[in-house]
Structure formats: C-alpha cells, structure tokens
Amino acid sequence: MESLLYEQLADRLIDHIEEGVYPVGSRLPSVRALAKSEQVSIATVTSAYSILEERGWAEPRPKSGYFVKRTAIEPLSMPKKSRAKTSPRAVTVAELAMAIQRGAAASRGVVFSAAIPDLEFPIAEVVKRNFTRLSRYSSSFGNGYETPEGLLELRLQIARRAIDAGVHISPDALITTMGAQNAISHALRALTTAGDIVAVESPCYFGLLQMIEGFGLKAIEIPTDPVTGISVDALTLALQRWPIKAILTIPAFTNPLGCIIPMEKKRILIQLAQRYDIPIIEDDIYGDLQFEGRRSKALKSIDPDGRVLWCSSVSKTMDPHLRVGWIAPGRYYDEVLQQKFVSEISSPTLPQVVTAEIMKKGLYDRHLRHARASYHQRYMRLLELAREHFPESMRVSSAKGGLVAWFEMPRSVDATELYYICREEDIHIAPGELFSVSGLYQNCFRLSFSNEWTPEREQAIAFIGRILKKMT
C-alpha cells in the first residue's frame, strides 16, 4: 500500500522546509494555490497542512494561512516521519537480532545496542539483599507450584502502583509473567493464530518483530511520527484494507523513537479498536521512566470495554534478571491465563516475593525518581556528544523517557555496515534494519544511553562519528 496522497504531500512540504525552500517564519502557499500546482483536491492540501501542524512544522494564522514554524527541537532535527510500506510481510530479522543480542551479552566493551537498565544503581544492591534475605523463607512459599496468576502480594503492589498510570485495577485482573516479552507472547497467542496480521509501529522494537515471525504471524508496519507516535490515518486505512487481529503498540516512549502518544490520539486509538472490534496490546515497560512531569496515562486507563491488554515489567526499571512482568488482559483474561498455564504452569516465586517487597517498602518508587533524573541527564549528554561527533546532517529522536534514542543519517549511511565496523572495536549498536520487516531503516540506528558516561563510552561515540563521517 502506498502512503496516502496527503501524507505524500506533507512529506514533500517538509522536505522543502528542511531544504530551505520555505524558511522558518515564511508563509506557505495558500491552500487553493497548492491544490492547483500539485493537482490535488482542497481537502488533500488541508489534510497535509494539518499533518504539518500536528508535527510542529507549520502553524495557522487567522485569515493569513499557514506559516513555517521553528521545529520543536533545536538545533537537532527530528527523524522524518517513517514511510513504512503498510502491507503485511514476513519478518526476517531474527538471525541478525539474536547475533546482536549474543554479541552484546558476551562483550566487555561498550554496549549501546541493548535497552538494559543501569545495573550500577543502588537498587541492584537492594535486589540482591532481598534475594539473600527472602530466600531464607522460601520454604514458606507454598507446596510446589505458584498459582498460574502469580503471587497475590505482587499483584497487590502492581495494582497499587498502576494508579500512577491512571489504571484502576483489581489484583484479580492481573497475571504475573516472566517479563513483558513473555506477557506479550501470551497475549499474542491468546489473540491470534498463524497467518494472522498484527499492526505494529514503524520503526518497531525488533523483539516484537521477532516474536511475530516466531509465531508465524505477519506484521503490518504503520508509519509512526517521531513526536506523536503511530499514524492514525495510516492505521485506519490498514484496518480498512486488512483483517488485522491486534494492534501492538508502545505508547510511552515508543521503542526506538522515544515519543509519547498524546492523550487525544490515545482516545482515537481506542475508538478505532472499538470500531474494528480488535484488541490493543499495550507494551508499557518504559512508562515509569518518563524524564519530566507527571507520568503519562496508559492506554489502559481509558479502556472502556476491556480490550486493552496492558503489559509491563521491572526489566527496564529495575533488573532484567528478575524476569518479573505482568499483564492486565481485560476481557481476554481467561485466554491469557490459559496460555501462561500451559506454557509454564507458573512463574518462579522468589523473584515475585523480592519484587513485591521492594515495591511495598517504597524502594522501587524512590529508585525511579533517581533513575528518571539520571537517564534524562545521560540522554542529554548523548545529544551533546552526537552534536559534537556525528555528521551535521543527522537527525535524532526527541526521547521523552526510556533508555534509547534513534538516529537517522543520510541515505548514504549503511547502519548494518556501521554495526559490523563498530563490533570489530567491541562497540555495539542496534542497526536500523532490525526495526523493520521491509528494510526501511538501513540508514538509522538505535543507541541506548542507560549507562553512565565514561571516557571509554564517550570515545566510542567519537569513533562512531568518525565512521559516519566517512560514510556521508
């Protein structure tokens, strides 16, 4: 499927703005003039200008038309809105993804490729201490297998903390899992069978694309705006054209773009899901890692009829080794519980006890305050370093939270080649190729900024910059 006429027009206008054809502050062509010169309808031009406005490229002035606005992030440019091909394709990123995962796990060098929290934070010591302390009581953990829905004490703590995300939920509506990937896998299995189509953001976190491939499903990539997230228009069109079985989205700090879907758009997403009577799987693992302001509300918080399956974990916020996550599957509770039960019977008890205890004592929330501020600083430092070392023509996402940033380079850059060159120096990045099933992001890459900046890490950025400059 080609992108819509007005999206194409909007993209062309943005290109013109970037190229300086329309400088900041200048008046854009009138709707009527543009319709004539581009040989499109008035409605198409109006829609294109709305997109420019939505993305912060233009602003309307009463009775004067549209004017070019300063872009939101200065002086860095945002990645262009993705031009994902919205037709289902088989996923083929698995091998590269696993090689990258392995490389990063084995490396003693500089790892920017994995979205892993900083394990040097004091909370790591708290986790360890609680394991040591609570393992002494492990004989009181029941007669063998934990219940399939998971430890009640942990579900209570998750329900209590969910209020932060606007989610008011009973512990009985929650199921604990082995991390969010595991939660999403149970959700997908409960909702789909092989051959079904799932709508995902584009670019999309490769772990989700791999899961879709592994389950014999097809991914349809929905173009995603680096500021406002998934394109509602493209999603609507995809829903009209394809028998999509589920929408899989990361509304808070979309991996890799780092953006938040605005509340208004969240409401539209819910309405769309209702109209087409399909579920939304919400991956909210980064939700607690918002840099500034109040934590944004989850999609689940405005889910009137239980069609949102809210998935999260402590893997990004505390420690992936815990393998503790959860799902609030709404109306799909029974099906998801069955998938968990038949796949694993139950999750290990001790990590659930440890996580519940740390949440209960408020240590998790205290840690989050510290972590949010640190990650924000580290992100800002990454931007500084990128500005210093990367080619001027780069664009970088404006992350509002999470652990990763997305870089877009000129077309001449081959990020997969960059990945291999860096790997020789034991520097690990996540090439853009991973984030698409249709080879869209060959000139992009994702860097994690969760670790403290050391001279070694800063030099690694400089190294990447030197290679990039050779490529451009």
Assign 292 to helix, strand or coil.
coil
**Applying CB under 8 A, which of residues 30, 41, 138, 393 lies at the interface with a copy of itself?**
138
Cα 395–chain centre separation: 18
**Of 376, 405, 370, 406, nearest in space to 292 by CA:** 376
In the complex, what is the shortest distance from the CB of residue 174 to a copy of itself, in angstroms, rounded to a whole number?
16
φ/ψ (deg, to 5) at 308: -95, 130
In the complex, what is the shortest distance from the CB of residue 249 to a copy of itself, in angstroms, rounded to a whole number?
18
181 binds a copy of itself (CB under 8 A): yes
Span of 229-237, 263-271, 319-327, 380-388 interacting with a copy of itself by CB under 8 A: 319-327
Binding to a copy of itself in span 274-303, by CB under 8 A? none
CB 74, CB 82: distance < 8 Å: no
In the complex, what is the shortest distance from the CB of residue 183 to a copy of itself, in angstroms, rounded to a whole number?
10
398 binds a copy of itself (CB under 8 A): no
263 binds a copy of itself (CB under 8 A): no
Nearer to a copy of itself, 71 or 192 (CB): 192
Amino acid at 239: L
Nearer to a copy of itself, 102 or 160 (CB): 102
In the complex, what is the shortest distance from the CB of residue 181 to a copy of itself, in angstroms, rounded to a whole number?
5
Amino acid at 69: K
182 binds a copy of itself (CB under 8 A): yes
Span of 82-90, 133-141, 293-301, 413-421 interacting with a copy of itself by CB under 8 A: 133-141
Count of helix runs (H) and strand runs (E) in the chain: 15, 16
**Applying CB under 8 A, which of residues 116, 237, 268, 467 lies at the interface with a copy of itself?**
116
Binding to a copy of itself in span 190-209, by CB under 8 A? 193-194, 207
Nearer to a copy of itself, 82 or 355 (CB): 355
Q: Give the x/- contact pattern for a copy of itself in 213-252, rule: CB under 8 A.
A: xxxx------------------------------------
**Applying CB under 8 A, which of residues 178, 252, 257, 430 lies at the interface with a copy of itself?**
178
Span of 38-46, 174-182, 258-266, 439-447 interacting with a copy of itself by CB under 8 A: 174-182
**CA distance readout (Å), 112 to 17, 109, 310, 446:** 32, 10, 28, 8
Nearer to a copy of itself, 56 or 103 (CB): 103
In the complex, what is the shortest distance from the CB of residue 91 to a copy of itself, in angstroms, rounded to a whole number?
10
The long-range contacts involving 415-418, CB below 8 angstroms and separated by at least 24 positions, are 415/441, 415/442, 415/443, 415/444, 415/445, 416/96, 416/442, 417/471, 418/445, 418/464, 418/467, 418/468, 418/471
124 binds a copy of itself (CB under 8 A): yes
Nearer to a copy of itself, 346 or 398 (CB): 346
Sort strands 218-225 and 229-230 into parallel, antiparallel or unpaired. Answer: antiparallel
Whether the CA torsion 82, 206, 374, 155 is positive or negative: it is positive
User: Helix 349-360 to helix 152-162 angle, to the nearest 10 degrees?
Assistant: 40
104 binds a copy of itself (CB under 8 A): yes
Spatial separation of the C-alpha atoms in residues 169 and 312, rounded to whole Å: 14
Binding to a copy of itself in span 79-98, by CB under 8 A? 94, 98
The helix (run of H) or strand (run of E) holding residue 337 is helix 333-344
CB 173, CB 333: distance < 8 Å: yes
φ/ψ (deg, to 5) at 444: -120, 165
Nearer to a copy of itself, 46 or 343 (CB): 343
In the complex, what is the shortest distance from the CB of residue 97 to a copy of itself, in angstroms, rounded to a whole number?
8
128 binds a copy of itself (CB under 8 A): yes
Helix ranges (H only) for 93-200 are 94-106, 122-135, 152-162, 180-191
363 binds a copy of itself (CB under 8 A): no
Q: Is the peptide bond before 122 cis (omega within 30 degrees of 0)?
A: no
CB 398, CB 196: distance < 8 Å: no
Binding to a copy of itself in span 326-355, by CB under 8 A? 337-339, 341-351
Number of residues near a copy of itself (by CB under 8 A)? 63
φ/ψ (deg, to 5) at 334: -60, -45
**CA distance readout (Å), 53 to 14, 47, 117, 297:** 11, 10, 35, 24
**Applying CB under 8 A, which of residues 79, 171, 179, 287 lies at the interface with a copy of itself?**
179
168 binds a copy of itself (CB under 8 A): no
In the complex, what is the shortest distance from the CB of residue 186 to a copy of itself, in angstroms, rounded to a whole number?
8
Residues lying near a copy of itself in the complex (CB under 8 A) are found at: 94, 98, 101-102, 104-105, 111, 114, 116-117, 119, 124-125, 127-128, 131-132, 135-136, 138-139, 141-148, 178-179, 181-182, 185, 189, 193-194, 207, 210-211, 213-216, 319-323, 337-339, 341-351
